[in-house]
Amino acid sequence: MSDKHYSFFGAVERSFDKAARFTKWDSGLLNQIRQCNSVLQLRFPIKRDNGEIEVIEAYRVQHSHHKTPCKGGIRFAAEVNQDEVMALAALMTYKCTIVNVPFGGGKGGIKIDPKKYSAGELERITRRYTSELIKKNFIGPGTDVPAPDYGTGEREMSWILDTYVSMRPGEVDAAGCVTGKPITQGGVRGRREATGLGVFYGTREVCNIPDIMNKLGLPIGIENKRVVVQGLGNVGYWAAHFFQKAGAKVIALAEYEGAIVDEKGLDVEAVFQHRKKTGSILDYPGATNIKKSTEALELDCDILIPAALENVINGENAPRIKAKIIGEGANGPLTPEADDHFAKKGTIVIPDMYLNAGGVTVSYFEWLKNLSHVRYGRMEKRFTENVNSSILNQLEELTGKKSNDHARKLIMHGPDEVDLVYSGLEETMINATHEIMNAWRENPAIPDMRTAAYVVAINKVATIYAELGIFP
């Protein structure tokens, strides 16, 4: 069957059904897990700057209540539709479960092109949307916690928080109603780069697994691996940045206007600044231009990171993809047909539902910070530094050798908030990688890593239902 016969939610359901065969659970329970529990469709009017009234279409979906609150981003995009929001909410359930974050999956979307609205209009839309969610009990620190997604960021999250606080005066944990906020409003350091950093940590851990690398005929580790990244937005930029920092060669970067290639390796930050200055990544000094962005996906490389849009790799172009490892930075960049092709070929596809979970993992840390009302590191930073300093002084006295300034600074350093966030994210991604790989090893009939990830997710959600006694 051709790719076009599948909706995004249909593709998620198909992946779910593929994995469900490898579990022991009753079909009724499996059907409960795969369905969306609550779907909210909204239509509300806003006044444009020119005085015209426009009716806005918006959605919020709560896929699963096996854990509360529900969690998931809000995207502003002209293509937003109910099918897409349902699919993304379902992926959030499985994503949270795999990385052991105690949320049910949710997602929101407003059907607008944010580039066509002024800041004032966007604020009115965001605040009205938030007030509608409050009225329907679809937002709150213990109910449903939104976050940024495509087309939204810290600014929109701060409007959501302000609207919530004004309508829920005196609620002590109100800051936990939304994540991805500015630091001054209860945000957490490291949230901005979290998804891209998670993509890096997850891919690096797969590259550190000897049997996987042997199968692919690649050396262990990330160093000197040739990487192609599609999308220089928040996820793609930070993923590329951390790959380069770890010693990988980012040989190509692609954006909607085209792509650039340099076999010697691109300087990610310099390319980013070039695009900021010129409005395009094309004509970057020393690199070769590729006019069609999608052609970059077919370049010869070790690791391909599609970090832009859905369905960019499908049954038609999958046979031309040469990468040995594909790390899904975006949501749903591969269709089911592409998955089938790569499973037969032996290409490792690291699935989105786990690989881009860095955002929700660090959102979880932000939510915990908001509920505890204390910044990470505030209680222990100085204590750790004082203890480390005492140990270092004792060692220097015993050995008679003085440490150099750099070593002293490194050893004495007590963790800041961002250090603890990075550490927590690294731990999460490493553990999740091995959980998925162990499930795959235990059942060699599982065709690919995505199916193994779904098996892990299904088993965890079903176990929670069974332990609650809802489904024996």
**Gap between the Cα atoms of 159 and 356, Å rounded:** 25
| Average pLDDT taken over every residue of the chain | 91
Q: Is the pLDDT of residue 226 over 90?
A: yes
**Each residue's pLDDT tens digit, 234-290:** 899 999 999 999 999 999 999 989 999 999 999 999 999 999 999 999 999 988 999
CA-CA-CA-CA torsion for 170, 171, 172, 175, nearest 10 degrees?
A: -120
**Confidence category of residue 2, pLDDT binned at 50, 70, 90:** very low
Looking at the predicted structure, is the pLDDT value of residue 452 above 90?
A: yes
Q: What pLDDT score was predicted for residue 472? A: 43
Mean pLDDT, residues 59-76 taken together: 95
Residue 6 has pLDDT above 80, yes or no: no
Q: Which of 18, 107, 225, 381 is catalytic?
A: 107
Backbone region of residue 81 per phi and psi (left: phi > 0; alpha: psi in -120 to 50; beta: other values): beta
| Lookup: tokens for 248 | 């990988």
Active site residue 107: yes
In the chain, the domains with their CATH numbers are 36-185 (3.40.50.10860)
Q: With 50 as the cut, is the pLDDT of residue 1 above it?
A: no
Tell me: the pLDDT tens digits for 410-430?
Answer: 777 777 888 899 999 999 999
What pLDDT is recorded for position 218? 93
Q: For the segment 360-383, what is each residue's pLDDT rounded down to a tens digit?
A: 999 999 999 999 999 878 788 877
Q: Average pLDDT of 288-297? A: 88
Average pLDDT for 2-6: 50
Confidence (pTM):
0.89
- Name the phi and psi angles at 62, rounded to 5: -110, 105
Q: For residue 187, count other CB atoms closer than 10 A to its CB.
A: 24
Tokens coding 128: 């009205």
- Of 186, 195, 96, nearest to 149 (Cα)? 195
Scanning the structure block, which residue is given the tokens 């005929």?
217
